[in-house]
Structure 1
Amino acid sequence: MKKILITGASGFIGKRVARLFLSKGYFVTGMGTSKTHLFSRKSQRFEWVSADTAIEGKWQDHVAGSDIIINLAGRNIFRYWTKKYKQAIYDSRILTTRNIVNAIEPGKTHTLLTTSAVGIYGDRKENVLTEKTEPGRGFLSDVCKDWEKEGLKARQKGVRVSVMRLGVVLGNEGALSLMTPAFKLFAGGPLGDGRQWFSWIHIKDLEKAVEFIVENSDIEGIFNFTGPTPVRQKQFAKSLGRVLHRPAVIPAPAFMVKVVMGQLGKAFLQSQRAVPKHLADVGYPFLFANVDTALNDIFGK
């Protein structure tokens, strides 16, 4: 069975993707800054490597020995962005990807899935954003452009490369874990005027789309990893309130979001109406077509 290397394997997405491929019989090497990983005790086909992948090191030997690489490494963006932390966000993504590509041996690794985000498009108001839409402006856009550029260099070594431009990933961890406490305290609502578009993807669709690309050798390129139907932020807040049996009537004024959250708050107020045209074109069958069914599944309704 083929060997898969997953960077960022201790994170919300990484754990789910690692578990999926272990269930399929793959040998999985997980990598991240945590000292240990729970899967090491649960499966003989899982190996954990503790390393800062933004720094060159012995960990790169595992890159050279892998058939498939899924690059999910990157510092959490859901923190206040100081100048120092913005550099950490950048370095953890760009330097990790550069180090991975540099360590790939031509003819050995045949597939690289590397991460990006719909933040590459910047604030695009009402525009429908496909994979052919030009990047926008701003910090996240610049990070994503450089991130993708480093990953696509692996094509020069004969590697099949796919870029996953993630929307907000919905599951029992991640962004939802930050949103739900306010709703449960009857203090939830849209950000700003709520008219900005919100691109999301259920964690199960993310997992299955990764598997779909890995196991179909003729598929590659750039993919919006988003659900088929983006919604306005106001509608998302209403749907989340409904599934939690809480009102969603207390908006967070735009100026307050910016004051409290700084540049991260400005990013939250951007409008990104991204659609997964490439995934649809290659025939990926979405499990969750709209945000209501996605949230109902997550919260057990």
Structure 2
Amino acid sequence: MLGDKLILKNLIYFFIALFFVACFRLETISSPPKWFLSITRDNVFLYGNGSGDSLEKSKQNAINDLASSIKLKVSSNTNILNSQDNQKQDSKILQDIKVSIETIELQNIILTHTEYKNKVYYSQIKISKDLLVRGLKNQYQNLYEQLKDFNPKFCKSISIKDKNILENLLEQANSTAQSIQALDFSSKVASLKAYENMLTQNSPLPKAKLVFSPQSDPDAVKMLSSEYAKFIQNTDEKDVQTIYNKIAINTDQKEQKIKASLEVNINDCNNQTIFYIQVHSIENNKEDALRRLKIQLYKKLKEYKENNQEGIPNIS
């Protein structure tokens, strides 16, 4: 009986010892350095931690962690800013901000800690908030310089093609400005209001003045005007782009066909041609000829809208 108690006692000691050995081994294997577990916070730098089976992998993971922390900080601060200005949070703005941050190349990264422990490499890096904001400001300034190609004081309208460009530039500029102000509340950037107003005035479609040559066929004018209405707001305002249309409809007596042609000059506010279109059709009757002309005009205008071409291409 005494022997059994001794055996049981020894077994208990054995399992207790085994438990502590296992815990020690587990801690030894899995426990990272103390500096790795403590999150460094200050108003000068942003930090990132990373681990891996090589030093380079741990550094890269630290960079990824830093990028994530930047996005989280910008999103968090932007929520605060937006809640001060508007009770309704715009999720699209948050998405744009993340894209804006991801387009910034992380430079001047400082490696603050590296350690090899239990066959794992650990790294910590940091980046100056000031340098990050400066990079964002440079990006904003580049976008703002591109916006200067639009001159709201001189011209009230924008071309079919340039409307998309203006929308994209303003989206990028707004998201970059949000990022700058979220990272540094005191930062100021040039106002986008004039360009935003210009876009508003040319939405949902850009303004332009339609002009048809004298004695143009009324049916042709009506049919082509309805096609233009898919791309522009026709207006008689001053200081807008003008679309000049020259229509010709003739009968081929020999072939008994109707020939219809259309020449289009899209002119800017300086009355300089920025785009030229020439289309024609030959059909058995005027209605079919005009319908064919209308289809071709739609295709050419769509190409112009979607294609960032320079100069005055002849797309006949």
Q: What range is the shorter-chain TM-score in?
A: under 0.3
Q: Which has the higher contact order (CA 8 A, sep 6+)?
A: 1
Report the structure, 1 or 2, having the larger helix content. 2
Q: Greater Rg, structure 1 or structure 2? A: 2
